[in-house]
Structure 1
Amino acid sequence: MRSFLTPRRLAATLLLLVLMLLGIAAQQFRLFERGLFVLQEWRHAAEWKDRSIWLPDFRVSIEAKPIEGLTDDVSALTYDPDRHSLFTVTNQRPELIELSLDGHLIRRIPLVGFGDPEAIEYISKGIYVITDEREQRLIKVRVDENTTSIDASQSQQLSLAIGLSGNKGFEGLAYDPAGQRLFVAKERDPVRIYEIHGFPHTRPDKPFAVHVVDDPKRDARLFVRDLSSLQYDDRSGHLLALSDESRLVLELNADGRPISSLSLLRGMHGLQRGVPQAEGVAMDNEGNLYLVSEPNLFYVFRKQARD
């Protein structure tokens, strides 16, 4: 009896299987959408370059500098324009960490009553918001020169039960001071960027009212596998979204559409090695980008002058 699986049929079956697996991988990693975006980024460069952050123009100036003095990994990053320094958090032994703009440890402040701090955002002079990822808490804290510890129980808090998924909760924060909007990134399953109005509560003479804006259709256009950190740029009104798993920083315009990107892979933007696990991104008043990655590595990207 003739064998059903002839060499030709076997080769065709294997080829079909390989194509199916490639298709699944492309869908999983959003390769089709990412490829289309690269084409659109190139086509619309002239339109956006002068009215956006425009990430393709950035090159690394400090690469993978170890943050000395820390044993726990840092997560998230925010720039303090009053102190001209950076703040981050650790979550194994919860601490608030202040860093210089060249990645040196300035001070560390214990966080009491914080289960899993994952993000921190500067709001105004001495005021910050910290997220507790697992419990989906937003915690308003105060920090000054004399602060030696911060107790969550003594701080204003907001708990949100939005798409609870264990360790895939609130991973990034950004703040729009003019619009008084707090952007909150849900890490994945699914990726989301929420806009929260009314927190932190800064007007004691007004009632405490919170409004949450969710736009799943907008967020579906984000072809990243996760979100690790956010940064709002008040000059352009654009948002930076950092994805560790996609090794990418995306610039989103006011409508939430990706318009430019910064790849964190080896050989891109002057990187000698790829960024291993990006956890936080921040931007200073001069437009310089700062990034932290596990295991406690510090990066600076600066915009290059055009020819």
Structure 2
Amino acid sequence: MTSSSASVPPSRKRRLFLRWPFLLGVVAMIGYAVVFAMHWDDRGLLWVKERFETTGERSESIWLPDYTVDIDAKVLPGMNDDEASDLAYNPRSKTLFAVMGKNPFLVELTLDGDVLRKMPLHGWSNPEGVAVLEGDHLAIVDERNHELTLVTVGPETRELKREDFRSYDLGESANQNKGFEAVAWDPLRQRLLFGEERPPRLFTWAADGRSPLTSTKQPVPSDELDLRNLSGMSIDPRTGHTLLLSADSNMLLELDETGGQVSFMTLLGGFNGLKDRIPRAEGVAMDEHGTLYMVSEPDLFYRFKKK
């Protein structure tokens, strides 16, 4: 009995053989497209570096791989058209403040993501960043106007008018359409940390968290910002480490006090307990217990706790 391979004409064998390089090329192109689309290239080197961190180094950091979501994509009621843009934790009230960029207002949330109050922001064009400073002081960054405004929010505040507070010009951005996006208060170093969305760049502004700003912003040199964009940031009050959030990279990145990469969390479904990908992560905050909070466009709330 002749084998089936022997019955295949030589010309057909040659055609099949010639197709393999083409098929392998197609598979390689699809694989690269998936890697690029899912931003695995941003995470590969970080994952390798994490394997070499010692137990002591992990205990002295936030160590994002150990976090698991316990509130997953909770809808913020009545905000589906407002575009959640940033998030900050208030250690005095034990609440969270979020800004909405499309329809400008400030909202106070419980740590479970329940709405306590909504405060219209009159005079702001596109608020994209918020930070809680000392006392009742907050900083709000307006991306479209390239401004940082220091405001006061007390328990009885129901609305804010930009004209009632002092604003500071942040200057031009490398990409005018992707300007200053995020801001965080660093109490350990007595400074405001804020950044441009794309390309990601960080700046500092010396401050005491209560008084008007008197210095000028200073760039933070860094070659560790392996992110496609910067959408939010926060400072861990325990370690002083910086958390950088990237919606385009689907990643939360931890930097140490020298700006070096320490750990990361991927924001895709199936990782860190997430059922689905966080659609567009725009804000991150951390409290004194190390609990992580995030908001995503259009109106989603997340909370992560360490295992």
1:278 corresponds to 2:281: yes
From 130, 133, 149, the counterpart of 1:139: 149
Q: 2:181 aligns with which of 153, 166, 171?
A: 171
2:122/2:160 contact within 8 Å kept: yes
Determine whether 1:149 maps to 2:154.
no
Map 1:43-62 to 2 at 5 A: 43-62=52-71
Alignment pair present for 1:254 and 2:257: yes
Residue 229 of structure 2 aligns to a residue in which SS? coil
The 5 A counterparts of 1:282-297 are 282-297=285-300
> 1:199 & 1:169 partners in 2: Cα distance?
25
The Cα shift of 1:295 comes to 2.4
Alignment-derived partner of residue 89 in structure 1: 99
Secondary structure of 1:285's counterpart equals: coil
Deviation larger for 173-182 or 29-38: 29-38
Whether contact under 8 Å (2:237, 2:287) holds in the other structure is no
**Structure 1 residue runs without a partner (length 5+):** 1-5
- Matched residues in 2 for 1:90 and 1:150: separation? 13
Q: Is the 8 A contact 1:69 1:105 kept in 2?
A: no
The amino acid of 1:83's aligned partner reads S
Task: Kindly provide the amino acid, as one letter, of the partner of residue 93 in structure 1.
Answer: N
Structure 1 length normalisation: TM-score? 0.86
Quote the residue 2:83 is aligned against.
73
Q: Kindly, what percent of the aligned residue pairs are identical?
A: 37
Question: Mind listing any 5+ residue stretches in structure 2 that lack a counterpart?
Answer: 1-13
Counterpart of 1:107 in structure 2 is 117
Partner of 2:5: none
1:101-128 Cα shifts (integer Å, max 9, x gaps) = 1111110111111011011100012100
Q: How many residue pairs get matched? A: 292
Q: Shift in Å at residue 248 of structure 1?
A: 1.0
Aligned counterparts of 1:203 and 1:109: Cα–Cα separation in 2: 23
Structure-1 residue corresponding to 2:217 = 212
CA distance in 2, matches of 1:275, 1:27: 17
Q: CA deviation at 1:73?
A: 2.1
Query: CA 1:170 to 1:52, structure 2 compared with 1: closer, same or farther past 3 Å?
Result: same
**1:244 shift after superposition:** 0.7
* C-alpha contact 2:243 2:254 (8 A) present in aligned 1: yes
SS of residue matched to 1:102: coil
The structure 2 residue matched to 1:237, chosen from 240, 243, 248, is 240
How far is 1:54 from its partner?
Answer: 0.9
The 3-state SS of whatever aligns with 2:163 is helix
Q: Does 1:264 align with 2:267?
A: yes
Decide whether the 8 Å contact of 1:288 with 1:303 is kept in 2: yes
Query: Offset at 1:214?
Result: 1.6
Q: How far does the alpha carbon of each residue in 1:277-299 deviate from its partner, in whole angstroms, 9 at most, with x for none? A: 11111111211111111221111
8 A Cα contact 1:199 1:210, kept in partner:
no
Residue of structure 2 aligned with 1:38, choices 42, 47, 51: 47
Q: CA deviation at 1:27?
A: 7.6
Q: What SS does the aligned partner of 1:275 have?
A: coil
For residue 36 of structure 1, report the CA deviation from its aligned partner: 1.7
- Offset from partner CA, 1:20-61 (integer Å, 9 cap, x none): 897798689875553121011012142421111111111111
Q: Does the C-alpha gap of structure 1 residues 281 and 203 become closer, same or farther in structure 2, counting only changes over 3 Å?
A: closer
Aligned-pair distance for 1:211? 3.0
Task: State the shift of 1:212 in Å.
Answer: 2.3
User: What CA deviation, in whole Å up to 9, does each residue of 1:184-215 have, x standing for no partner?
Assistant: 12111x11111122486x447xxx53232223
Distance 2:33 2:304 in 1: 34
TM-score, normalised relative to structure 2: 0.86
Query: Within 2, Cα distance between the matches of 1:138 and 1:96?
Result: 15
Let me know the Cα RMSD of the aligned residues.
2.5
Residue by residue over 1:55-103, the C-alpha shift from the partner in whole angstroms, topping out at 9 and shown as x without a partner, is 1111111111111132422110001111111101112221111111111
CA gap 1:246/1:232 in 2 versus in 1, 3 angstroms: same
Bigger Cα displacement from structure 2, 118-127 vs 27-36: 27-36
**Aligned equivalents of 2:195 and 2:54: distance in 1?**
27
The change in CA–CA distance for 1:29 and 1:153 in structure 2 (over 3 A counts) is same
93-102 or 44-53: which moved more? 44-53
CA contact (8 A) 1:187 1:226 kept: yes
